[in-house]
Amino acid sequence: MTGISIAIDGPAGTGKSTVAKEVARRLKLAYFDTGATYRVATLWCMREGVDLAVESDVAAMVETMNVGLVLDPRNPRVLLEDEDVSSLIRSDAVALTVSKVATNLEARAALGHWQREVIASELDGGYSEGRGIVSEGRDITTIIAPDADVRILMTADEEIRVARRAGEGADLATVREAVLGRDKKDATVVSFHTAADGVHTLDTSDLTIEEAVQAVLDLIAEVRGDDAAEAPAASEAPAADVADEAGE
């Protein structure tokens, strides 16, 4: 399992964050939520009072960020100016604003370059000591890591995706806008609803977390032609239903 790169794309609410994190944990790989880079960039711009409508200003501000990433799947964190902002970047304010950065092509190019560097660096060492990395987001399988060893597009029924997020305790109207509104906006700059050539589709609409995780592990083993992706003991399995943290 040395130096393996696993890329998981998909819209919000499909379970990609939960599944990617658990797969990384079981295989002792690094976990990289690329959506967090857009969120921390958004938080940084909001704090600095940048007009998000001015694309060049946003892109320039992205270049000034001092951000550290902890890629441990058991406790992934984002540090902005040495402050742990892992919770702040998941706030409603950021969730409803992040598309302004994610659809900014200049900022997206800069963040994409950073994401590729993170993945390349991890394959040579880092948290996983070179074992590999599981990256998830919206354009990982096509733009950021098209040469990943395993590429997966996770999908799920629209209403199921909204219900999963609403089940996390948030206001339903806010959730619907954050999930579906964000998808609609981001779809103008990146395709994440249809699998590209060579990308495997995994529909999680009727799957539990464990079933979705095992499906990914089985696919990894199939692609690599080995039996390294075995399921852990039942006591290590996560909770029953697929949920998805607020990714890109």
**In whole angstroms, how large is the CA radius of gyration of the chain?**
17
Q: Dihedral sign, CA of 111, 113, 119, 122?
A: negative
- Say whether 172 sits in a helix, a strand or coil: helix
**31 in Cβ contact with 183 (< 8 Å):** no
Dig out the tokens for 197 from the structure.
């050539």
Edge-to-edge strands, sheet with 200-203? 30-33, 132-137, 4-9, 150-155, 200-203
| C-alpha span between 55 and 106 (Å, rounded) | 7
| C-alpha span between 91 and 138 (Å, rounded) | 19
In this structure, are strands 4-9 and 83-84 parallel, antiparallel, or unpaired? Answer: unpaired
Phi/psi for 134 (5° steps) reads -110, 115
Q: Which helix or strand (DSSP H or E) is residue 36 part of?
A: helix 35-48
In this structure, are strands 132-137 and 30-33 parallel, antiparallel, or unpaired? Answer: parallel
Annotated binding site for ATP: 10-18
Annotated binding site: 10-18
